[in-house]
Amino acid sequence: MKVLLSWLQEFAPFPGDDPVALGDVMSDLGMAVESIERIGEGLDGIVTVKVLELRTHPDADKIQLVDVDLGDGEALQICCGATNLTVGDVVPLATLGTTMPDGMEIARRKMRGEWSNGMLCSGRELALGEDHSGIYILDPSLALGLPIVEALGITPDVLFDLEINPNRPDAMSVAGVARDLAARLGLPFAIPAPNVDELAGDASSITSVDIIDPDLCGLFHIRVIDGIKIEPSPRWIADRLSALGMRPINNVVDASNYVMLELGQPNHTYDLAKMPGGALRVRWARDGETITTLDGVERNLTGGRDGVIVDASDSAIGIAGVMGGASTEISETTTTVLLECAWWQPMAIARSSKFMGLRSEASARFERGVDPAIVDLAARRLAELLAPSGARLVEGSVTVNGELAPTPAVRVRTSRVNQLLGTDISTEQIISLLTPLGFVCELGGEDDVLSVTVPTFRPDTTNETDVIEEIARHYGYSKIVGRAPTSAHTGSLTPIQRDRRSIRQILVGLGIHEAMPLPFLAPGDLARCGLPPEAVTVTNPLAAEESILRTSLRPGLLRAIAYNESHRTDGVSLFELGKVFALPPSGETLPDEREHLAVALAGRDATAAANVWALLARTLGLNDVVIDQSAPPAGLHPGRSGVLRRGGAQLGEIGEIDPGVLDALGLHERVAWLQLDIGVALAAPHGEHRYHHISRYPSSDLDLAFEVDNAVPAASIEAAVRSAAGPLLVTVSLFDVFRGNPVPDGRRSLAYRLRLQAPDRTLTDEDIGGVQRSVVKALDALGATLRG
Q: Smaller CB distance to other proteins: residue 269 or 573? A: 573
Q: Least distance to other proteins from the beta carbon of 562, Å?
A: 9
Of residues 458 and 473, the one with the C-beta less far from other proteins: 473
Closest CA to 169 of 309, 302, 363, 7: 363
Count of residues in contact with other proteins, rule CB under 8 A: 90
What is the footprint of other proteins within residues 614-673 (CB under 8 A)? none
Contact stretch for other proteins (CB under 8 A) within 233-241, 435-443, 512-520, 622-630: 512-520
Query: Dihedral angle at the C-alpha atoms of 65, 69, 73, 74, nearest 10 degrees?
Result: -40
Q: Given the complex with other proteins, which of 543 and 711 has the nearer CB atom?
A: 543
Do the Cβ atoms of 324 and 294 come closer than 8 Å?
Answer: yes
21 binds other proteins (CB under 8 A): no
3-state secondary structure of 340: strand
Q: What's the chain's length in residues? A: 788
Task: Say whether residue 490 binds other proteins (CB under 8 A).
Answer: yes
Q: Is 587 near other proteins (CB under 8 A)? A: no
480 makes contact with other proteins (CB under 8 A) = yes
Query: C-beta of 74: minimal distance to other proteins in Å?
Result: 43
Cα separation of 554 and 674, whole Å?
9
> Residue 136 or residue 475: which is nearer to other proteins going by CB?
475
b/e map 347-377, b = 16+ CB within 10 Å: ebbbbbbeebebebebbbbbbbbbbbebbeb
Question: 94 or 285, CB closer to other proteins?
Answer: 285
* 137 scored as a contact of other proteins (CB under 8 A): no
Selection from 300, 308, 284 nearest residue 357 by Cα: 300
For other proteins, give the closer residue by CB, 52 or 420.
Answer: 420
Q: Which is nearer to other proteins, 393 or 601 (CB)?
A: 601
Binding mask 396-435 for other proteins (x = CB under 8 A): -----------------------xxxxx------------
E-only strand ranges, 61-216? 64-69, 76-80, 90-94, 109-111, 114-116, 119-120, 157-163, 208-211
In the complex, what is the shortest distance from the CB of residue 522 to other proteins, in angstroms, rounded to a whole number?
A: 14
Candidates 116-124, 559-567, 603-611, 653-661; binding stretch for other proteins (CB under 8 A): 559-567
When binding is defined by CB under 8 A, the residue of 212, 443, 493, 683 that contacts other proteins is 493
Alpha carbons 29 and 436: distance in angstroms, whole number: 14
Secondary element (H or E) of residue 601: strand 592-602
Burial of 453 (0-12, 13-18, 19+ CB in 10 A): middle
Least distance between other proteins and beta carbon 263 (Å):
21
SS3 string of 742-782?
CCCCCEEEEEEEEEECCCCCCCCHHHHHHHHHHHHHHHHCC
| Torsion from C-alpha of 667, 669, 672, 673, nearest 10 degrees | -10
CB contact at 8 A, 105 and 98: yes
In whole angstroms, give the CA distance from residue 535 to residue 525: 11
Which of the residues 139 through 168 are near other proteins (CB under 8 A)? 165-168
Longest CA–CA separation in the chain, Å:
129
| Window of 147-155, 262-270, 347-355, 726-734 that interacts with other proteins by CB under 8 A | 347-355
CB of 555 to other proteins, least distance (A): 12
Residue type, 689: H
CB nearer to other proteins: pick between 375 and 472: 472
Instruction: Determine which residue in the list 55, 108, 235, 501 makes contact with other proteins, applying CB under 8 A.
Output: 501
Beta strands 90-94 and 119-120 are antiparallel
Pairing of the two strands 279-284 and 208-211: parallel
Query: Binding string to other proteins for residues 302 to 341, with x set by CB under 8 A, is what?
Result: ----------------------------------------
Looking at residue 99, what DSSP letter applies? Answer: B
297 CB-contact burial (10 Å; exposed 0-12 / middle 13-18 / buried 19+): exposed
With binding defined as CB under 8 A, does residue 586 bind other proteins?
Answer: no
Torsion (CA) 378, 383, 388, 391 in degrees, nearest 10: 160
- 586-611 in b/e form (b: 16+ CB < 10 A) is eeeeebeeebbbbbbbbbbebebbbe
Nearer to other proteins, 312 or 544 (CB): 544
Q: For other proteins, give the closer residue by CB, 115 or 355.
A: 355
Query: What is the DSSP pairing of strand 513-514 with strand 573-582?
Result: parallel
Which 515-544 residues touch other proteins, going by CB under 8 A?
Answer: 515-520, 536-542
Cβ proximity to other proteins: between 362 and 784 the closer is: 362
Cα distance between residue 26 and residue 182, in whole Å? 10
Supply the minimum distance, in Å, between the C-beta of residue 602 and other proteins.
10
Q: Is 589 in the site for other proteins (CB under 8 A)?
A: yes
Integer distance in angstroms from the first to the last C-alpha of the chain? 92
Nearest to 435 by CA among 191, 188, 172, 192: 188
Nearer CB in complex with other proteins: 252/319: 319
212 binds other proteins (CB under 8 A): no
Nearer to other proteins, 270 or 575 (CB): 575
- In this chain, which of 473, 550, 596, 637 binds other proteins, going by CB under 8 A? 473
495 is a site residue for other proteins (CB under 8 A): no
By the rule CB under 8 A, 584 interacts with other proteins = yes
Give whichever of 141 and 589 is closer to other proteins, judged by the CB atom: 589
Asked whether position 603 contacts other proteins by CB under 8 A, the answer is no
Per CB under 8 A, which region of 217-225, 262-270, 472-480, 622-630 contacts other proteins? 472-480
463 binding other proteins? (CB under 8 A)? yes
Question: Of 279 and 420, which CB lies nearer to other proteins in the complex structure?
Answer: 420
Which of 478, 586, 630, 741 is close enough to bind other proteins by CB under 8 A? Answer: 478
Task: Report the alpha-carbon distance of residue 343 to residue 215 in Å, rounded.
Answer: 11
Residue 253 Cβ, how far from other proteins at the closest point, in Å?
26
86 touching other proteins, by CB under 8 A? no
Candidate list 59, 104, 447, 477; residue touching other proteins; CB under 8 A = 477
Report the residue number, 489 or 696, with the smaller CB distance to other proteins. Answer: 489
C-beta neighbour count of 140 within 10 angstroms: 10
Residue 347 interacts with other proteins (CB under 8 A)? yes
Q: Which stretch binds other proteins (CB under 8 A): 140-148, 327-335, 461-469, 614-622?
A: 461-469
